Amino acid sequence: MLNQVSAYGRCVVSTGGGAVLLRTNWGHLRNGVVLYLEAPPEALAARVAAEGVAARPLLAGAPPGQETEHAARLLGELLAARQTMYAQADETVGAGDVGPAAVAERALAALAARLAADETQKRLRTVPATDSVRLEGGRGEQRI
């Protein structure tokens, strides 16, 4: 799916957390800006437990009545194993302490800041220098 949508501009692609595990996925993700929505395992476990742990095969096998604790432990292990990949995201957005609307606002703000910074960098690379630099070496003077 990432292969198909990576060529589109101005779209949002929401992947599962394991998408970063495949190198080919990273190649496709890098066609845009990658935001990592970061939340502690306990916050993720509470959300998953509210939806029902049975819907998440990676979190199956919890003893009755211990679904949230079981999910938190497993999610903590998954986060730890994937942390080096998540750290490669362009921006990290705190998503553990607020609801979906606030996470969306934070994500949009992070994206806007990143795009503004990218535009600044692009301008810096294309604006000609006002002063020239002279290098002198064994072959004479060169003007840059």
DSSP tag of 87: T
The neighbour count for residue 106, using CB atoms within 10 Å, is 17
What does the pLDDT look like over 64-122, one tens digit per residue? 888 889 999 999 999 999 999 999 999 999 999 999 999 999 999 999 999 888 887 77
pLDDT surpassing 70 at residue 131: no
What φ, ψ does residue 100 adopt, rounded to 5°? -60, -40
What does the pLDDT look like over 4-49, one tens digit per residue? 888 887 788 888 888 888 989 988 888 888 999 999 999 999 988 8
Rounded CA gap, 21 and 66, in Å? 28
